[in-house]
Amino acid sequence: MPGETLLNQRYELVAQQGSGGMSVIYKALDRMLGRMVAVKILRPNLTKDPAFLEKFQQEARSVAMMAHPNIVTVHDVGSDGATHYIVMEMIEGNDLKKLIKARDGLPFDKALDYAIQMCAGLGFAHRSQLVHADVKPQNILINREGIVKVTDFGIAQAYTDTMTQTRSEVVWGSPHYFAPEQARGEKPLPASDVYSIGIVMFEMFTGRLPYVASTQRDLALAHIKAEIPRAKDFNADLPEDLSNVIGKVMSKAPNDRYKHADQLGHILQELRERSRHAARQTAVGRTAPPTLQSQQPVRRGTRASSRRAGAYPAPARQAPIPLPRRAAQNIAPAGVANPPAPANSQPFSARGKPLLNPDGTINVEATGGYTGPFAPKRQAAREGADLVTIILVILAFLAVAGLAPLYLLGVFPLL
């Protein structure tokens, strides 16, 4: 746009960010809100048709009503004289095409994650009765946090619906990703977007396009008639089931693909979970400790013992738990006499009889015939209880004797 730097006294164009067959993109400052935005200005050859402009504005309004984290937000659509534009959120990052070229493909996990996010955004649009019609890596933006943002909704759809006579001048700007029905000039469907996602996935996982040709006509015929290449033939590490899914979405007939992006997204999520589960199982299998079942004792001579014998070493035999010191002093092994107790620790009964014999054995006479390990203590406790009983009886007798005079003094006046 020569000589123009401000649109409608609001959007100050700062720098050109990119260009395509239908538009030129600028980084701009929204003076009213004080934020950076992206302004997409339509090429003059598109704005000459009033029907196209009306359809474009209708599509832009529909896109502006969509709010999804994987779709670039549309803020405004308008015109300044002969210049027609659409204002969108500014995405700091790169488009997917640049990322693929930089590495000749993408790592498996990252490519699968991007594909799932693409399906989420496009699936939301399909549920809103919108078809993108120009899905390609250049229209897939990746911000600095790794979030996919699908952009350029509405323009290709508006052009397809209104400018059938001169379509070849613009549509063939990105023919590598168009579905066979689009190459034949038919109206794109949600399944057409699914086909384009399949081409983008093929390129992400293999680093190359599935169809190449020297002319646009030959490329169109390849999409329509050529045998579908297998992604796994160009990337041997690609899982077979994922390669089959890519082949399915690249089917020639729309009815042979998934009908909308949500269906493809669910399949890809399932494949990712299955891949992660297999990776976790592999990691656990490498470091897994013996199971509780494998540690259980097994009887010799059984089939189970023959299968598990030698699998893990038998658990070490535990040492016996030591008894408390006091109990151990009173218990001797069978057939072995208790050692003599120290002289200063010899217990006596209440009658003055020793509870232990000189050789350390229990004095049966002193304990009343009880020979258990705690006989001395029990005998001492019993004799102590007898002494307490005698004392209590004496106290009771004295109490009764002391009350007798009082009783007599209270009784005689009544006679």
Residue 11 main-chain phi, psi, to 5 deg: -100, 110
Eight-class DSSP state of 31: T
CA-CA distance, 68 to 320, in Å (whole number)?
A: 68
- 221 near 180, Cβ under 8 Å? no
- 162 near 49, Cβ under 8 Å? yes
CA-CA distance, 208 to 199, in Å (whole number)?
A: 10
Question: 76, 134, 193, 262: which one is catalytic?
Answer: 134
Q: At what angle do helices 190-206 and 96-103 cross, to 10 degrees?
A: 30
Per the DSSP assignment, residues forming a β-bridge with 149 are 141
CA-CA distance, 41 to 85, in Å (whole number)?
A: 4
- Half-sphere exposure of residue 298, counting CA atoms within 13 Å on the CB side? 19
CA-CA distance, 201 to 209, in Å (whole number)?
A: 10
Per the DSSP assignment, residues forming a β-bridge with 356 are 362
Q: Residue 395 is which amino acid? A: L
Is 134 considered catalytic here?
A: yes
Could you tell me which residues come within 8 angstroms of residue 104 by beta carbon, excluding any fewer than 6 positions away?
207
Strands (E), 306-380: none
- 166 near 187, Cβ under 8 Å? no
Rg (CA), the chain: 47
- 87 near 117, Cβ under 8 Å? no
Which contiguous run of DSSP H or E holds residue 130?
none
Q: At what angle do helices 261-287 and 190-206 cross, to 10 degrees?
A: 30
CA-CA distance, 7 to 63, in Å (whole number)?
A: 21
Q: Which residues are catalytic?
A: 134
